[in-house]
Amino acid sequence: MPYATSDDGTSLYYERHGSGPAILLVHGSGGHHAAWWQQVAALREEFTVLTVDLRGFGKSDSTMTEFDGQDFPGDVVAVLDQEDVRDAMLVGQSIGSVAALRAGLLRPERVTSVVLGHSLGGISHPELTELAAADRARAVELPVIDRLLTKPFQKERPDLTFLFQQMGTFNVARMADLRNLDTNGPTLDDLTASGLRVAFLAGEQDAVLSVGTVTRAHELLPGSHLEIVEGAPHSMYWETPDRYNAAVARLRRTLTAVKDPA
């Protein structure tokens, strides 16, 4: 499988599957390229599906002594450039959405839309910052696994719950290395001016970021799209893949490939 090289020389592992309109999946703090196994298998018949390991994750370069989250958008850009993609929809998971949104703003000629999965994408707005902080304050009272997967799923699928937890053991970088991504983000005006199409993808039972907060972001960003997946938790790509995959495919078809003329 191929590697891309970022502007600072970092080697980044990625995979390309299928053919058709391009979807690039950007993992969150506990993931890497293999976490998307249920998405690749379902979407590759209709779409080109790209997965990437951000630096410090999976099979990408993890030799650096520290990781700067501000470098992650450039990792996504490196894959877009390597594959010469001209019409990508970037799909972020949790904090990976922040990297996806910034990558889309860095390469408007390659990215036509960004899906913010379980995330506000680091958008700078006082009301949204306050709402998200309140959601996080409630979330930290829960065990980490209960923030990400529902209790019924954990009980019914201990095998997939165990595998989910094991995924993160392949990574060197940690959540703390990504946190500074969520600073000095784009404003609503920045996004509107960019012409980038933005969709919010929320899980009805997300314990980390509430549907109400995501809905408010959608209301504040003109022209944005909103998908709420019934019964889905924060890690819906893992627990409710069929519904998640259907939403992603629907957004790829809905968010037109051709930008409006200036």
Predicted confidence pLDDT, tens digits, the chain (262 residues)? 699 999 989 999 999 999 999 999 999 988 999 999 999 999 999 999 999 999 988 889 788 877 777 889 999 999 999 999 999 999 999 989 999 999 999 999 999 999 999 999 999 999 999 999 999 999 999 999 999 999 999 999 999 999 999 998 988 887 666 666 667 789 999 999 999 999 999 999 999 999 999 999 999 999 999 999 999 999 999 999 999 999 999 999 998 644 444 4
Residue 98 lies in a domain: yes
Q: Total domain count for the chain?
A: 1
pLDDT score at 262: 41
CA separation (Å) from 103 to 76, 85, 106, 251? 6, 13, 5, 19
Residue 47 lies in a domain: yes
CA separation (Å) from 248 to 46, 82, 90, 163, 200? 12, 23, 10, 23, 11
Domain interval for residue 20: 3-254
Return the CATH number at 178.
3.40.50.1820
Residue 61 lies in a domain: yes
101-124 burial: b if 16+ Cβ within 10 Å, else e: bbbbbebeebbbbbbbbbbbbbbb
Q: Using CA atoms, how far apart are residues 222 and 231, in angstroms rounded to an integer? A: 27
Rounded to the nearest 10 degrees, the angle between the axes of helix 72-83 and helix 96-106 is 60
Residue 182 lies in a domain: yes
pLDDT score at 201: 97
Angle at 154 between CA 153 and CA 159, to 5 degrees: 105
